Chain A
Amino acid sequence: MFRAIILFVGLSTASALSAESSGMPQLDPGVWVPQIFWLIITFGFLYVVISKVVFPRLSESIEQRNDYISDLLDEAKKLSEQTEKLNKEYSEFIANSKKEAQEIIATDRKKLNSEFNTKRDELDTKIKKMTDEAEKEINNFKNNSINQIKDIANQVTSEILNELSIKNYVDEKIISSKIDEISKKRIGDLN
């Protein structure tokens, strides 16, 4: 629309401004034939140049570039696939190593545990044996010492009785039984 107005304004100014205006030179049929003639020649020549030289060259160079780019992209894809594979292998390797390490740790711990247990059991039995022995000894000693104390008490009593010259008036059996009774009572207190 805008163009049409400009065209109208242009044309009317043109005809108004030029008194000797012969109108539009474009409408003179005398200039048509040479223009068509030269248009065919020049346009034809240009078509030949473009279709035989420019077009093949351009499409070749663009295709070449696209090929090159797609080659590079393919290579990049391949490399990235390879990287992914390596990555996977690496993580698998790590996982396997971890598993192995855990297994080793577990077996070692078991072994150590069992070794420790046997050693402890051995020590326990040894200690028990030693304690038993020691207890026995203590018991022996205790019993022995009680008998000794009894004997000493009997002797001391009889000696005291002798000194007091009342031995004949006292039954020795009663005294020893009394001593036994008392000592038993003490031992019972001790135990």
Chain B
Amino acid sequence: MANPMQQFEVKTIGPKIVFGNFDVSFTNSSLFMVITVATISILFTLATQKKSLVPSRIQFLSEMTYEFVAKMISETAGSKARPFFPFVLTLFLFILFCNMIGMIPYSFTVTSHIIVTFALAAFVFIGVTIVGFAKHGLGFLKLFVPSGAPAILLPLIIIIEIVSYLSRPISLSVRLFANMMAGHAVLKVFGGFVVSLGVIGGWLPLGFSVALTGLEFLVAFLQAYVFAILSCIYLNDALNLH
């Protein structure tokens, strides 16, 4: 039976590119990042080309996405987060399309690699922290001191708050990575069962495969949404404290 983890292997495509001391060769992961970005760029550029008053289906789809993300931001972070709209939209679309393109058989799921999700989460984390300090200066540290807490418990609470703040990028990245990897691994395992159990016994795992595929599409959307909305919530903390 095929190794269910094999699908996550990163293989170099083409020549080995070395940049300074680092190997930055083009890989299958890079290929799917490029495919994802190209798909989004082409789709949304074409969709928004006409700007007709009564939108076509594809234009309506793009506007629906826009309004979905706009609502998400305004509900979690308020109007002050408006300048960060393009970034959140990019983040949401990138993760959503990586997840969805990963659902195509024999493709590669970019977001099933912890390093990718961690890089995204770390970027959000560092960005949010910078925004917080730029906006409130040292007052941003008040984020770690909840108002109304008893003075005796304050040191403990501050430590807990700092730990929970620092663990944000980890939970954010592991949530997405683990969901994507687990889902794909399980699909692969059930697919393997279908083959190994054959015509007689393979029907049950096949049914599971079908059901899990549906579930995976839901998860692909949901995780992109969760990643984006959590980024908005962190942004809200930085913009408005709490």
Contact = CB atoms under 8 A, between A and B. Distances in A.
A7 B181 contact: yes
Contacts of B186: 6, 9-10
A17 B34 contact: no
Given A7-B178, A35-B119, A46-B93, 11 more contacts: A10-B4, A10-B181, A21-B5, A26-B112, A34-B10, A34-B12, A37-B22, A49-B37, A49-B40, A51-B87, A57-B51
Interface stretch (A59-67, A102-110, A126-134): A59-67
Nearest to A34: B24
Interface in A1-60: 3-4, 6-7, 9-11, 13-14, 17-18, 20-21, 23-28, 30-40, 42-43, 45-47, 49-51, 53-55, 57-60
B53 A68 contact: yes
Nearest to A23: B5
Contacts of A46: 37, 40-41, 90, 93-94
Contact of A33 (B22, B37, B52, B219): B22
A55 B86 CA distance: 6
Interface residues of B, number: 62
Q: Identify the 5 closest CB pairs spanning chains A and B, nearest first.
A: A51-B86, A7-B182, A38-B30, A10-B185, A57-B48
B189 A31 contact: no
Interface stretch (B62-70, B129-137, B141-149, B230-238): B62-70
B75 interface: no
A178 B45 CA distance: 146
B177 A26 contact: yes
Contacts of A33: 22-24
B89 A55 contact: yes
Interface of B: 1, 3-5, 8-10, 12, 19, 22-27, 29-30, 33-34, 36-37, 40-41, 44-45, 48-49, 51-53, 55, 59, 62-63, 66-67, 85-87, 89-90, 93-94, 110, 112-116, 119-120, 177-179, 181-183, 185-186, 189, 192, 219
Nearest to B67: A62
Given A50-B86, A58-B48, A45 B37 contact: yes
B62 A14 contact: no
B241 to A, nearest CB: 27
A34 B44 contact: no
Contacts of A61: 48, 51-52, 55, 59, 63
A38 B113 CA distance: 13
28 contacts: A10-B181, A14-B3, A14-B5, A14-B185, A18-B4, A23-B5, A25-B10, A30-B23, A35-B27, A35-B29, A35-B30, A39-B110, A39-B116, A42-B33, A42-B34, A42-B36, A46-B94, A49-B37, A50-B90, A54-B41, A54-B62, A55-B85, A58-B48, A61-B48, A61-B52, A61-B63, A64-B53, A65-B53
A137 B122 CA distance: 138
Contact of B90 (A4, A7, A9, A51): A51
Nearest to A59: B66
A11 B63 CA distance: 40
Interface string A122-162: 00000000000000000000000000000000000000000
B5 A25 contact: yes
B48 A54 contact: yes
A50 B44 contact: yes
A57 B34 CA distance: 23
A30 B29 CA distance: 13
Contacts of A42: 30, 33-34, 36-37
